[in-house]
Every structure is written in C-alpha cells, then in structure tokens.
Amino acid sequence: MSSPRTVIVFGPTGKVGSVAALTAHEEGAKVILAMRDPSKSIPILDGLCIERVQADLTKPETISTAVRQTGAKHAFIYIAHGGNDGMRGSITALKNAGIESVVFLSSFTIKHDIRAVPPTELVPYIHAQVEISLDDIFAENGVAVRPGYFASNSLQMKSDCLAGEVKLPNPDALFDWIAPGDIGRVCGSILAHGTEERVVPVVGPHKLSYHEVVAEIGRVIGKELRITKVSGEEAVQVMSDKLHVPRHFAEWFVTNITGDSSDISNSPDYAKAVENIWKYNKEPVTFEQWLSENKALFLA
Ligand SMILES: NC(=O)c1ccc[n+]([C@@H]2O[C@H](COP(=O)([O-])OP(=O)(O)OC[C@H]3O[C@@H](n4cnc5c(N)ncnc54)[C@H](OP(=O)(O)O)[C@@H]3O)[C@@H](O)[C@H]2O)c1
C-alpha cells in the first residue's frame, strides 16, 4: 500500500475547495489549507486539526513558501483572476517548490482543443489558458476537472424569488445544476489518490430547465413564483446592475450560456461527464437535495 499523500488546497474557503479538502482528509491524505487569510472560518473544516498556511494564488513567492514549508506534493487550485498569463507564474512556482501533481478546477464550457479557444469565448478562454500552463509545466501530472453548471448559480435568482417574479432570458435552457460539494468530492478524491485522466468533465446527475428549477425553489421556500421571459439585453442589464457582473462577461453569458438553444447535453463531452459523476462520486446530489440542504441561503 502506498503511503498517504501530503496535499495542499488553495482556496479551502470555497464551495468546491472546502469539500475537496475534507474529502482528501477523509480519504487519508495529510491536508494543508493554503489561504489568503488563514484566520477565516471554514465551517466544515474548523473542528478538524488541519494545518493552515498563508498564500495567495496571484503571488508566486507566497506559493513557494507555503509548499516548501509544508512539504506538500499535490495541490488543488482555483483560477485566480487578475493576471493575464494563464497563471503561468503561479503554476511554475508550484512545480519549482516540489509539487508533483495539480488538480485544477476548470470549466465544462471548454468544448474544443484548449489551444484553439479564441479570446472572445471569455469563460472557456480564461480556463483554457490555465490548462495550457498546466499542460506545459506539469504534462500528464496536471489534471483539469471541468464541472458543468453549478446548483449554486440558482442563488443569482434569489432577489427575484423573494419578490415573487423571476425574470429570465430563456426559461427553457437545460442545465445539470451540479452540486458544488459533488465537484469537491471528485477533486478531493483525485487529490488523495491521483487519476490516469488529464481532463475530467463532470456534470450533475439530471438535466433540469430553469422552469423546473424555479418551480422547485418556489415549493421549497413556500412561495408562488411567476416567470417572466425578458430580452437578452434586459438580462444583461440585470446581471451587470444587480449582480455586479462585468458587462462584457454578462453579454457573453447571456448569449452563450442561456441562449435560445441552450442545452448542456449538446456538449461533445456530456456522456463522459455523466459517467464521471458516478465514477468519481458514488452518490451525486440532485438539485432537489442541494436545494433542501441550502434552503436557508434563499431566505437569509
Ligand atoms: N458557477 C459555475 O457554474 C461554474 C461552472 C464551471 C466552473 N466554475 C469554476 O468554479 C469557480 C467557483 O468555484 P466555487 O463556487 O467553489 O468558488 P467560491 O466558493 O467563490 O470560492 C473561491 C475560492 O477561491 C479562493 N481564492 C480566490 N482568489 C484567490 C487567490 N488570489 N488566492 C488564493 N485563493 C483565492 C477564495 O478564497 P478567499 O476566502 O480568500 O476569498 C475561495 O476559497 C469559478 O471561478 C470557475 O472557475 C464555475
């Protein structure tokens, strides 16, 4: 039997990162939490005796120190916004400090060769740039986990839900609504044991339209919810004004993600991604289960 891995999780306060850290811990790895602010509370990890170190994924020198100080050999990372080098400096720092393999939380929006994604494809492009850095620096020891559409994205409708009317550009758009915890379990398991695969697409176990999701939210919060179909322009306005999403991103999102023919299963990797959620995470959480566990977030 091989000895337990020493793993470092950058971003353990996150919805995915926290569960990745917990899973790796439960599966026998020695876990280190690398945080911008190590004093932050992480409810699911606070009671466990897990070492914390300070590090910022945009500051390579803090990454080197954290890895060298702890002797970690395997890392989980998020995309860190700010630089435009595909996190090349940070990923190089991981390698030079002794990290042997990396699990990167990427995105299912990447549908083609990572080196052929144009910059106009905002979300797939920024994730593909990090995957390219990982490929160049870690080769087969860089793993990209590419999740579908998070169940937690439904919280963007919270204020509309509380007001009783949900405005959407395409209520028929079909998504997988994957639970962030399920993604964390996939990442944590790969972190603790490794995988032969370089790219691991994962989606939630069932597709649901926004219509179905809003009906379920209404049932759980005990409120009658009406859906009003709005124009793409109005949806962009709401995303940028109310949700403070940068306008160019909101435009890309409304056109490409919630566009007229949006159905996540049109993606070439969909069948593989469904297979993976069962392969890496034996009992995936349905949207209904995620919602009942997170009902309070809609009412807070
Ligand atoms: N939403 C979707 O449908 C979707 C789909 C596919 C992929 N994704 C990917 O999933 C990500 C969101 O995952 P999530 O919901 O788990 O995120 P989250 O809950 O917002 O957590 C983000 C984590 O990243 C950490 N972080 C941010 N900047 C950092 C930095 N410079 N250095 C170190 N840590 C840093 C945060 O730490 P602090 O506590 O310091 O803030 C936090 O722990 C997206 O950014 C995207 O890449 C999302």
pLDDT single digits (tens) 130-167: 999 999 999 999 999 999 999 999 999 999 999 999 99
Please give the Cα distance from 71 to 86 (Å, whole number). Answer: 25
Nearest residue to 160 (alpha-carbon basis) of 216, 233, 218: 218
CA of 142 to the centre of ligand 1 (A): 19
Q: For residue 11, how far is its CA from the centre of ligand 1 (angstroms)?
A: 7
266 CA to centre of own chain: 20
Neighbours of 273 (CB within 10 A): 23
| Chain center to CA of 111 | 16
| DSSP E strand boundaries for 116-254 | 142-147, 165-168, 174-175, 199-202, 208-209, 226-229
What residue spans of 27-113 are helical by DSSP H? Answer: 60-70, 88-97
CA of 78 to the centre of ligand 1 (A): 6
Residue 268 burial by CB count (10 A; 0-12/13-18/19+): exposed, middle or buried?
exposed
pLDDT in tens, 83-107: 889 999 999 999 999 999 999 999 9
Q: Which fold has domain 6-147+179-203+266-284?
A: Rossmann fold (3.40.50)
The pLDDT confidence band at residue 261, using thresholds 50, 70 and 90, is confident
Q: Above 70 in pLDDT, residue 121?
A: yes
Give the atom of ligand 1 at the shortest distance from the alpha carbon of 79: 47
Query: Can you tell me which atom of ligand 1 is nearest the CA of 149?
Result: 3
Q: Which residue has the tokens 């034996």?
A: 282
- SS3 label, residue 35: strand
* Mean predicted confidence (pLDDT) in 11-31: 98
Atom of ligand 1 nearest to the CA of 109: 6
Instruction: Tell me the two tokens of residue 197.
Output: 């695969």
Domain residue ranges of the chain, discontinuous segments joined by +:
6-147+179-203+266-284
> Edge-to-edge strand order for the sheet containing 142-147?
51-54, 30-35, 6-10, 74-77, 101-105, 142-147, 199-202
Q: Is the pTM of this model over 0.85?
A: yes
Ligand 1 site residues, Cβ closer than 6 angstroms: 10-11, 13-17, 36-37, 40, 56-58, 78-80, 105, 107-108, 147, 149-150, 153, 180
Long-range contacts of 213-217 (CB under 8 A, 24+ apart): 213/154, 213/177, 213/287, 214/157, 214/161, 214/166, 214/168, 214/171, 216/287, 216/288, 216/291, 217/154, 217/157, 217/161, 217/291, 217/298
The whole-number average pLDDT for the span 259-284 is 89
> What is the structure's pLDDT at 1?
61
In angstroms, the CA 25 to CA 55 distance is 20
CA of 225 from ligand 1 middle (Å) equals 30
